[in-house]
């Protein structure tokens, strides 16, 4: 089978190989980069499962380390337990709290460290930072996590009983990345059922199965998330980067919301909110070509590395050296290429606005309005054999769950609303610019003929020429008491369930003459896994059921989109061309 084998890379010539002992005797491999002056220096620790001497697809850790060294920092890049050159069992998430503590404890005793340690990294090696904070080691003075969270990858339950729809990367991670120490990338056929069978050719080639894939179906596997209470109990200066278009944003914002609400963290949290996806590609690059693809263009790749590292230097200078003024509390991308700063998120002034959904179903265009609407039910037929496709997918991808960057084409999403299994609701053309900066959510009463239904929502910017670009998106999986196909009473859903779909956060300007467009639908495949419909486990299901979903429109329980808009109430009313106070 076609396969890419990623092997350990040798320690670069300008680094020193280390073996760092853990409390159980396991040794973890690391590379040390030092400033030329040779004196003890504040140290930045990077703990990664992706090969300490290679790093991510778009940039490499040696290059990142050298930028930090040029600013006077020592850098330790470490393979986490069980990956590449490090010892121990290959078990994701499991040991990162203790291993983070032990690594910091060892570093702080070395003559080249001045006793002050910070951490840096993206995704899983952002997770290792949060784990190290949860360990409570006093030498860890600050962290810079990017696009990560204490529950990274895990489909978690929401307060209303709904769950995240599982992102395909969750168990893909255990079937490809965390099988053995090295990494293998190979094409996957996501049409196979059950989904667990997609890895069988790889297991046969390798001669062993993924123990972590099997373990992930056990309830105790979910105990590997970092207990958020342990994170909150150890307030630490944090520069947290969130991607507006990042699939991990849902986990980032859960932690950020908890930190912002905790008094002990007051003044310690700094936010960078960027218009990027999980790979670090930016909305400013869309649509992309070879000249903008950092994997193919060395100059663009070096620029990206600088853009990632340079904003962190004032932060590290303040908290590791005690010099400079640090960074603003909030720095955020507004649209594609405008940067703004604020003392709060959402920025002030801002208002929460509730837009009512009105419409009967896919056959008729619906509306978004500040005015109350007539009570009715909007229904659509969900067919897992013909799912709504994810925004940017390939049928067979050499790595990952068949998903490319959404910025490679920056697709026009308006035609999705023409499907007969998508509800579409649009506002009237705006009379003035509308600035969206903050949380967005959809609330509704959901009912279905199935025991389990997925609800996806995308908020779009609909231009006068009829094209629509993504602003933000969200999803939930809802357990339900199934109803008959025509079960309703006077337009109200029988045994409907109140559901909130967080569309995470937006940071965008919708221009005058444009409209807000909301799409609601029941699948987003293959980025998010299909729902069997009967409450069973997706990865083990042989089939998926078709069914009818419905949401209630109008009245106290009617579906509504809540947005956070910047500016004064009068400016927002003017944008929507309404008289009097906004509802």
CB atoms near residue 231 (< 10 Å): 25
Q: What is the per-residue pLDDT across 503-528, written as a single tens digit (0 to 9) for each?
A: 999 999 999 999 999 999 999 999 99
Say whether pLDDT at 582 is over 50: no
Please state, in angstroms and rounded to a whole number, the distance separating the CA atoms of residues 127 and 248.
11
pLDDT of residue 322: 97
In terms of pLDDT, which residue wins out, 556 or 530? Answer: 530
Q: What is the pTM of this model?
A: 0.96
Q: What is the mean pLDDT of residues 136-164?
A: 96
Which of 264, 255, 287 is closest to 406 using CA atoms? 287
Q: What is the per-residue pLDDT across 73-117, written as a single tens digit (0 to 9) for each?
A: 999 999 999 999 999 999 999 999 999 999 999 999 999 999 999
pLDDT of residue 403: 59
Q: How far is CA 394 from the centre of its chain?
A: 20
pLDDT of residue 393: 67
pLDDT of residue 487: 66
In terms of pLDDT, which residue wins out, 397 or 370? Answer: 370
Q: What is the mean pLDDT of residues 27-34?
A: 98
pLDDT of residue 337: 87
Say whether pLDDT at 361 is over 90: no
Q: What is the mean pLDDT of residues 43-55?
A: 94
pLDDT of residue 491: 53
Q: What is the per-residue pLDDT across 387-408, written as a single tens digit (0 to 9) for each?
A: 999 997 654 343 445 557 889 8
Q: Which residues contact 239 (CB under 8 A, 6 or more apart)?
A: 142, 143, 144, 270, 271, 272, 312, 315, 327
Angstrom distances, CA of residue 361 to CA of 377, 414, 521, 582: 8, 16, 11, 26
Q: Is residue 69 very low, low, confident or very high in pLDDT (cuts 50, 70, 90)?
A: very high
Mean pLDDT across the chain: 92
What is the β-pairing status of strands 350-358 and 366-369?
antiparallel
Angstrom distances, CA of residue 486 to CA of 186, 377, 448: 45, 11, 10
pLDDT of residue 573: 79
Q: Are 15 and 31 in contact (CB under 8 A)?
A: yes
Q: What is the mean pLDDT of residues 437-453?
A: 97
Tokens of residue 446, six digits:
């959901």
pLDDT of residue 578: 55
Q: How far is CA 447 from the centre of its chain?
A: 28
Q: What is the per-residue pLDDT across 202-257, written as a single tens digit (0 to 9) for each?
A: 999 889 999 999 999 999 999 999 999 999 999 999 999 999 999 999 999 999 99
Chain length of the chain: 583
Tokens of residue 546, six digits:
């078709």
Angstrom distances, CA of residue 118 to CA of 73, 93, 133, 280, 301: 10, 20, 10, 22, 24
Which of 162-166, 293-297, 532-536 shows the lowest mean pLDDT across its residues?
A: 293-297
Please state, in angstroms and rounded to a whole number, the distance separating the CA atoms of residues 410 and 305.
23
Q: Percentage of residues in the chain with pLDDT exceeding 90?
A: 79
Which of 105-109, 370-374, 376-380 shows the lowest mean pLDDT across its residues?
A: 370-374
Q: Are 569 and 582 in contact (CB under 8 A)?
A: yes
pLDDT of residue 360: 84
Q: Are 3 and 184 in contact (CB under 8 A)?
A: yes
Q: Is residue 409 very low, low, confident or very high in pLDDT (cuts 50, 70, 90)?
A: confident
pLDDT of residue 583: 41
**Side-chain half-sphere CA neighbours of 338 within 13 A:** 8
Q: What is the per-residue pLDDT across 307-354, written as a single tens digit (0 to 9) for each?
A: 999 999 999 999 999 999 999 999 999 999 899 999 999 999 999 999
Please state, in angstroms and rounded to a whole number, the distance separating the CA atoms of residues 17 and 6.
19
Say whether pLDDT at 288 is over 80: yes
Q: What is the 3-state secondary structure (H, E, C) of 105-163?
A: HHHCCCCCEEEEEEEEEECHHHHHHHHHHHHCCCCEEEEEEECCCCCCCCCCECCCCCE
pLDDT of residue 295: 78
């Amino acid at each position: 089978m076609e396969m890419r084998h990623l092997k350990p890379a040798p320690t670069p010539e300008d680094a020193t190989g280390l073996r760092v002992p853990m409390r159980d005797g396991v040794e973890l491999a690391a590379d040390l980069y030092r400033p030329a002056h040779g004196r003890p220096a504040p140290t930045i620790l990077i703990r990664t499962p992706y090969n300490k001497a290679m790093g991510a697809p778009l940039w490499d850790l040696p290059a990142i380390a050298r930028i930090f060294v040029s600013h006077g920092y020592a850098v330790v890049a470490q393979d986490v337990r069980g990956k590449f050159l490090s010892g121990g069992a290959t078990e994701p998430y499991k040991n990162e709290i203790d291993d983070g503590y032990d690594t910091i404890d060892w570093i702080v005793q070395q003559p080249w460290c001045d006793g002050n340690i910070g951490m840096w990294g993206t995704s899983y090696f952002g997770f290792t930072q949060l784990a190290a904070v949860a360990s409570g080691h006093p030498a860890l003075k600050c962290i810079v996590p990017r696009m990560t969270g204490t529950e990274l990858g895990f489909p978690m339950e929401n307060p209303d009983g709904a769950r995240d729809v599982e992102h395909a990367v969750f168990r893909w991670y255990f079937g490809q990345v965390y099988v053995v120490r090295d990494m293998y990338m190979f094409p996957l056929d996501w049409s196979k059922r059950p989904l667990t069978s997609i890895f069988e050719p790889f297991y046969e080639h390798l001669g062993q199965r993924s123990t972590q894939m099997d373990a992930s179906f056990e309830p105790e596997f979910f105990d590997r998330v970092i207990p958020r209470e342990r994170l909150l109990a150890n307030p630490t200066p944090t520069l947290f980067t969130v991607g507006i278009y990042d699939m991990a944003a849902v986990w980032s914002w859960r932690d950020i919301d908890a930190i912002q609400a905790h008094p002990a963290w007051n003044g310690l949290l700094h936010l960078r909110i960027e218009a990027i996806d999980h790979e670090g590609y930016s909305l400013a690059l869309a649509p992309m070509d070879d000249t903008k693809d950092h994997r193919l263009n060395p100059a663009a790749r070096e620029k990206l590395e600088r853009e990632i590292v340079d904003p962190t230097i004032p932060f590290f200078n303040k908290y590791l050296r005690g010099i400079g003024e640090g960074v603003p509390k909030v720095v955020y991308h507004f649209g594609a290429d405008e940067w703004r700063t604020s003392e709060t998120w959402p920025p002030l002034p801002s208002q929460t606005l509730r837009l009512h959904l009105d419409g009967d179903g896919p056959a008729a265009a619906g509306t978004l309005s500040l005015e109350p609407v007539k009570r009715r039910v909007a229904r659509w037929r969900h067919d897992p054999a013909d799912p709504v496709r994810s925004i940017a997918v390939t049928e067979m991808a050499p790595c990952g769950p068949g998903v490319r960057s959404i910025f490679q084409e920056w697709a026009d999403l308006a035609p999705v609303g023409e499907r007969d299994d998508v509800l579409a609701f649009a506002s009237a053309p705006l009379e003035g610019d509308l600035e969206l900066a903050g949380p967005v959510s959809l609330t509704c009463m959901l009912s279905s003929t199935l025991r389990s239904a997925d609800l996806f929502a995308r908020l779009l910017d609909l231009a006068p020429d009829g094209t629509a670009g993504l602003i933000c998106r969200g999803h939930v999986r809802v357990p339900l008491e199934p109803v008959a196909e025509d079960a309703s009473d006077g337009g109200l859903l029988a045994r409907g369930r109140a559901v909130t779909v967080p569309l995470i956060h937006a940071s965008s300007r919708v221009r005058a003459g444009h409209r807000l467009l909301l799409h609601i639908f029941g699948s987003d495949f293959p980025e998010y896994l299909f729902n069997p419909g009967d409450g069973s486990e997706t990865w083990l299901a042989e089939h998926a059921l078709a069914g009818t979903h419905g949401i209630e429109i109008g009245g106290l329980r009617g579906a509504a989109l809540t947005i956070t808009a910047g500016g004064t109430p009068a400016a927002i009313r003017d944008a929507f061309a309404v008289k009097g106070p906004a509802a």
